[in-house]
Structure 1
Amino acid sequence: MGKNSDLLPIVLRDEWLRPAAAAIARRHGRYLDKLAAVERAAGSIVDYANGYRYFGWQWDAGLEGWWLREWLPGAADVYVFGDFNGWQRTEIRMHRDPAGVWSVFFPAAMYRDRLLHGSLYKLHVHGDNGWRDRIPAYARRVVQDEQTKDFAAQFWEPDAPFDWCGDAFEAPAAGSLLIYEAHVGMAQEREGVGTYREFTERILPVIKRGGYNAVQLMAIAEHPYYGSFGYHVSSFFAPSSRFGTPEELKELVRRAHELGLAVIMDLVHAHYVKNLNEGINELDGTDHLYSPPGEAGDQPYWDSKLFDYGKGEVQHFLLSNVKYWLDEFHFDGFRFDGVTSMLYRHHGYIDFDCRDRYFDEGVNEDAVDYLTLANRLVHDFRPAAVTIAEDVSGMPGMCIPIDDGGIGFDYRLGMAIPDYWIKQLKEVPDEEWNIWEMWSVMTNRLPGVKTVAYAESHDQALVGDKTLAFRLMDKEMYDRMDRASESLVIDRGMALHKMIRLMTIAAGGDAYLNFMGNEFGHPEWIDFPREGNGWSYAHARRQWSLSRNGFLRYSWLGDFDRAMIRLVKKYRVLADGYPYNLLMDERNKTMVFSHGRLLFVFNWHPTASIPDYELPVGAPGKYVPVLSTDERRFGGQERQSMQVEHFSFPVRGDDGQDHPRIRIYNTSRTATVYLRRR
């Protein structure tokens, strides 16, 4: 592959990848071979990913009855039982075909009055691990008995299909994605588990008013342990019944679309729960149905099971799951969780200190193939859909188009940014913050690799860690957040909370994400019900009333977030690409950069306020402040008037040319955005 004409576009655009050109070509060739096999089998990858239309319960109009099918190649015997047959385990035997698919037919004439919408059922499977009562992998609804805490599958066939008529929504285009990450169960203020209906009626309007144009939903696929945040999935085709019915989830999505909000699902295909009673582990009696056999099938860091991405039936299962959520629930895309764990057999727990780490024997090439196929499926089936990769390793090609040799994600998560902010707050005094390091972290992304920037992650909100607000203000949040109190700790925390978020959205990427409640500095942590807290829901909720209380400072933070989002949308900051660096004044901890007609001035110094501070601007004109973290309406002192106009003046540079500059009152711990008026 010595000639340029032989090189894939991903390599032609990046000299650093030239030595890996052969490995990248081989990786791309594997994908092409897999895709060709899929197309030979089904005509297209969209038609291939129809497992949810064959497995599980399927109506046969010709025979007038229901088929139940499940792939269990290692099973010696399989029965189905439920309330429709008095829970007699060995009465209704399923039959195996040569491919290991077990099936049974239920004639409507015989079961019309027994197999009803809402009927409970399980499989009774005889395998190498004995006789076990199991929930099918393709179950579309799973419910838990409140008394016994036992889970069972549910035959779910409403009288009429959900009416999607008129739902023709498309996700926001690149450069405009503003994501509000949310968890349905803890989105309510009352102590308890929130519902899809509550979220639709109460939370979607909050997100809309905030100016966001997408909501990212966590914990949608069924999971037995509520406190797992939805990351130990047991039933991949069943929306969590804790929050309501599938129809209520569909209504949530439809209403979001009516409000102009895309709905992105947090998709967990990196692993699955080990539980035998609730999940797919050892479903046919073997340890290698959906996983590699032995220890290779374990995710030791997460106490869960791995998928065998190289097995055709597993690939089909996962791709069908991708299409299922797009097709049946009209989701507008996915945030793929745990991509780093998928990509590497060591799950990313090494230092990526050289190029070879991305192409050596540590790479799980089957997972690379699967992710590429999944992106191809998503964008073939729903061209406007969005895919986001949670990858901390920096795998080359992650967000490069597939035809150019990449894996095909639309965005990657800028995971280094929240880690950086927490490290700063934990370890470095304000006066020692390195603004060059800050700039580097915010802008450290390859051209063309679209990045979702976020200041703090949902993990930082969990008990044992702290949100930015809680880390900044800590115990003072309990009794000093009323507007009448005076507190230097609260003043500092409020100022930096606003500055950090504005810096992140203005310089950190091409899209922005916020976890619910963090925009107004939600106090304390998330602590799901568990034995250690007496199974309390006191910290598994969001106290929205704090953000609406005019006597508390939380409302100021919420007001600033809305103003920030409005500014970013109005002037298309995210679509502008990299910010243009105009000044880095280390002594005064001041950085100046621009996006189009907007000029951003950040003074990170804890005390240095400088009158008549002279700074360069990108073009001559009149500069007027349009947003400041120090405005009174956001709880600041407004030391600089928002009405003042700053006219540029020329200054002769070393190059003999005149360069425009302005003078401002550069106040400490303040970020101000100026608009250049013509």
Structure 2
Amino acid sequence: MAHDRFGNLTGWDLEGFHSGGDTEAWRRLGAHVVTVHDDERGELSGTRFAVWAPNAQRVQVMGDFNWWQADEMELIPGTGVWGIWKEGVGAGAKYKFKVQGADGNWHEKVDPYAFRAETPPYNASIVHTTHHEWAPGEDAWLSHRAETDPYHRPMSIYEVHLGSWRKTMDYRQLAQALPEYVSWMGFTHVELMPVMSHPLEASWGYQVTGYYAPDERLGSPDDLKVLIEALHAAGIGVILDWVPGHFPKDDWALGRFDGTALYEHADPRQGEQPDWGTYVFNYGRNEVKSFLVSNALYWVSEFHIDALRVDAVASMLYLDYSRAEGEWIPNRFGGRENLEAIDFLRYVNKHLYERQPGVMMIAEESTSFSGVTAPVHEGGLGFGFKWNMGWMNDSLEYLKLDPIYRQYHHNDLTFAMVYAYSENFILPISHDEVVHGKGSMVDKIPQDDWRKFATLRTFYSFMWSFPGKQLLFMGQEFGQRAEWDESKGLEWWVDGMHWHKGLRDLIRELNLLQAQVPPLYLHDHEPEGFRWINANDWMANTYSWLRFGQDGDMVACIANFSPEPYVAYGLRVPRAGVWREILNTNDARWDGDGDHLNGARLAVPRDDGDAEVVVSVPPMAAVWLRYDPDADEQHLSQG
């Protein structure tokens, strides 16, 4: 043998992959430019191709380096992995695997571990070697992230579909525009809808065909790193949507990869997701676990992603998810829980939290499954945060009502406090709520523009002062009227218009105020941070509550979802003295009419030890008052 025909890859290197313990499987499988030693010619450069296909009869690699013919690959003994090293093949080469399945049929397949893929509708994999050198500031960012406590800091998330935020912008152009805008708006994080390679733009990235390859529509993997680096330089954390729950059935991708159900279950009662027409990963197979846990670590370590938001967790947890009786197989105890998926989620969460200091794992989970954000060692799933889908659904149903009917649904906005501390919640208004006939946030609200935008200002103020972190989908910050359409992009031309500009400027103010006022974030996940003042004023469609910080720092919040003003609304507060208005959504700055502003108000003692402050509450508006222990009470009046 003149040189290593497998490009320095051995069966020993793949033991972890087969045991489910290889958390960096991308370093071994896929296409890698490597140098091998030839006894006669010395060091030779080429690309090593390796692919797992244990039930294939033959596997070939074909590409632009061999005129798309075929080179036979060989089984690495005892591994089920086929390998070949091709001299002279370097970065930029396009390739596919040609797999003859156990049934004798041939299929062209893309590389499951490809780092780069062609722009759809083309789908060849591309040999890729990164040339991006992270700026010195990245080390400081990662060090800061490792020391940050996300639970006791402000977190407001701007959810973005990169392909339509500013239509026609690529990763490098976005690197100039997106960090500046997000920073100016005061958001702490962006959440990127999946950037993994996907064939259909209308899937928004949730039907992934290349788990390790960023979407080539907007640029190369190194271009994406430029965007992430720019966001970090602006102080913005990057959350990436991750889809380990299911994958599409395109015959050139993961499905039936070697002619058998390799990545998925063979039985459709376990291996297919009827809602989306997709395959479900086989979480009990060690090589699949290695593939997925490695993928999670890949985005965090190689792209410096700060958090993964795991999509459709409920579909992973339950064997009967969206299935009728007889269409699912119970677990070994006769239950509906997917024990293998639960073990996998605990494994990946535990590994990432231990391996990457400061990383966050976020669950999009819509059921009452217990312990989603409890630590693994306490029997939980080990996520850091969970989307509060119940709060979201209840809130949006309330907003759709004509104000005269809201009094009969008052508990829609109070019920979330019953379970507010059962998990570490994020309050999401996501892309899913403004598509497919659901209407934009503006269109959900009945009656005229004054009521629509005043109600939205009130609701967002309610959301930003309610326990939990906040997430808002792009375009909703300036009140886009149309449903989001990924093919058209956002309606940026309205963001400077009346109503729209006021709403956008209010969102900015909410973010800036939250960062400056610890009671609005410090105890988001702890009961001592919240207390109702009056949760039961249903006849007035009004809610009032307190948020607490440290050392007596507190804010009283009022939200009036009625079109009626309340010029002398009494609030029972813990301290007598000065309470100073820090937010009034009826302020002219936010396109309100400027009436019913409060300035500073004096709370007078009550016989029971509390105090009462009387405020003027505008119609369809929110008011925040912060206790000011240093104010001079002698110069204040009740007026």
Q: Extract unaligned runs of 5+ from structure 1.
A: 1-39, 474-487, 529-536
Partner of 1:531 in structure 2? none
Partner in structure 1 of residue 592 of structure 2: 636
* Superposed displacement of residue 285, structure 1: 1.2
Aligned equivalent of 1:85: 66
Q: Residue 317 of structure 1: SS of its match in structure 2?
A: helix
C-alpha displacement of 1:561? 0.4
Alignment partner, residue 524 of structure 1 = 482
Matches for 1:526-565 after TM superposition, within 5 Å: 526-528=484-486, 537=487, 540-547=488-495, 549=496, 551-565=497-511
Could you say which residue in structure 2 is the equivalent of 1:217?
192
CA distance in 2, matches of 1:320, 1:586: 51
Mapped pair 1:570 → 2:525: no
1:512 aligns with 2:512: no
Which of 129, 150, 161 matches 2:122?
Answer: 150
**Alpha carbons of structure 1 residues 431 and 271: separation in structure 2 relative to 1, 3 Å:** same
* 8 Å CA contact 2:119, 2:215 repeated in 1: no
Secondary structure of 2:559 counterpart = strand
What amino acid maps onto 1:174 in structure 2? Answer: Y
Report what 1:616 is aligned to: 572
Instruction: Report the Cα distance in structure 1 between the residues aligned to 2:569 and 2:485, rounded to whole angstroms.
Output: 47
Q: Classify 1:117/1:58 alpha carbon distance in 2 versus 1 (closer, same or farther; 3 Å).
A: closer
Q: 1:309 aligns with which of 276, 283, 302?
A: 283
Aligned to 2:6: none
Preserved CA contact (<8 Å) 2:586 2:621: yes
Q: Which residue number in structure 1 is paired with residue 221 of structure 2?
A: 246
Distance 1:385 1:506, change over 3 A: same
Aligned residues of 1:340 and 1:348 also touching (Cα < 8 A): no
Cα distance in structure 1, aligned partners of 2:165 and 2:104: 40
Q: Secondary structure at the match of 1:499?
A: helix
Instruction: Determine the C-alpha separation between the residues in 2 that align with 1:601 and 1:426.
Output: 20
Alpha-carbon contact 1:582-1:618 (below 8 Å) kept: no
Give the alignment of 1:93-172 within 5 angstroms.
93-107=73-87, 111=88, 115-127=89-101, 128=103, 130-144=105-119, 149-157=121-129, 160-168=131-139, 169-170=141-142, 171=145
Matches within 5 A, 1:374-413: 374-413=348-387
2:109 counterpart letter in structure 1? R
TM-score (norm 1): 0.82
Q: How many residues align?
A: 584
Q: Report deviation, 1:460.
A: 2.0
Aligned amino acid, residue 589 of structure 1: N
**What TM-score do you get using the length of structure 2 for normalisation?**
0.87
SS at match of 1:519: coil
| Cα deviation digits, residues 612-648 of structure 1 (max 9, x gap) | 22221121110121111111110111221343x2111
Offset from partner CA, 1:574-626 (integer Å, 9 cap, x none): 2223521012322222221111221101222222x233222211211101211
- Tell me the equivalent position of 2:441: 468
Q: Which amino acid aligns with 2:369?
A: M
Q: Percent identity?
A: 25
Q: 2:164 aligns with which of 174, 186, 193?
A: 186
2 CA distance for matches of 1:601 and 1:435? 18
Which residue identity lines up with residue 552 of structure 1 in the other structure? H
More moved, 369-378 vs 616-625: 616-625
8 Å contact from structure 2 (residues 578, 603) kept in 1: yes
- Following TM superposition, by how much is the alpha carbon of 1:570 offset from its aligned partner in structure 2, in angstroms? 1.2
Q: Secondary structure at the match of 1:663?
A: strand
Partner of 2:318: 344
- For residues 520-542 of structure 1, give each alpha carbon's deviation from its aligned partner in whole angstroms, at most 9, with x where no partner exists: 111201234xxxxxxxx3xx311
The one-letter amino acid of 1:564's match is L
Q: Is the 8 A contact 2:426 2:469 kept in 1?
A: yes
Residues 463, 527 of structure 1: 8 Å contact kept: no
Once residues 83 and 409 of structure 1 are traced to their aligned partners in structure 2, the CA distance between those partners, rounded to angstroms, is 43
1:666 paired to 2:617 = yes
**Counterpart among 256, 262, 268 of residue 289 in structure 1:** 262
Q: Give per-residue Cα distances to partners, 1:467-507, cap 9 Å, x unaligned.
A: 2112226xxxxxxxxxxxxxx70000011101111112212
Q: Kindly tell me: are residues 264 and 610 of structure 1, through their superposed partners in 2, closer, same or farther at Cα, counting changes over 3 Å? A: closer
Which stretch shifts more, 660-669 or 228-237?
660-669
Change (3 A) 1:464 1:363: same
1:573-652 matches, cutoff 5 A: 573-577=520-524, 578=527, 579-583=530-534, 584-596=536-548, 597-607=554-564, 609-643=565-599, 645-652=600-607
SS of residue paired to 1:648: strand
In 2, Cα distance between equivalents of 1:151 and 1:42: 29
Q: How much does 1:666 deviate?
A: 2.6
Shift of 1:434: 4.5
In structure 2, the CA distance between the partners of 1:565 and 1:129, relative to structure 1 (3 Å rule), is farther
Question: 1:8 is matched with which residue?
Answer: none
- Structure 2 alignment gaps of length 5 or more: 1-13, 38-43, 549-553, 630-639
- 2:442·2:479 contact (CA, 8 Å) conserved in 1? yes
- 1:360-405 Cα deviation digits (max 9, x unpaired): 6110000000000010111111120011001111211110011222
Q: Secondary structure at the match of 1:219?
A: coil
SS at match of 1:403: helix
Equivalent residues of 1:95, 1:104 under 8 A apart: no
| Contact kept in structure 1, 2:403 and 2:561, CA below 8 Å | no
Q: In the aligned structure 2, how far is the partner of 1:610 from the partner of 1:123?
A: 70
**Superposition RMSD in Å:** 2.5
Secondary structure in 1 matching 2:458: helix
What amino acid does structure 2 have at the position aligned with 1:154?
I
Quote how far apart the aligned CAs of 1:438 are: 3.3
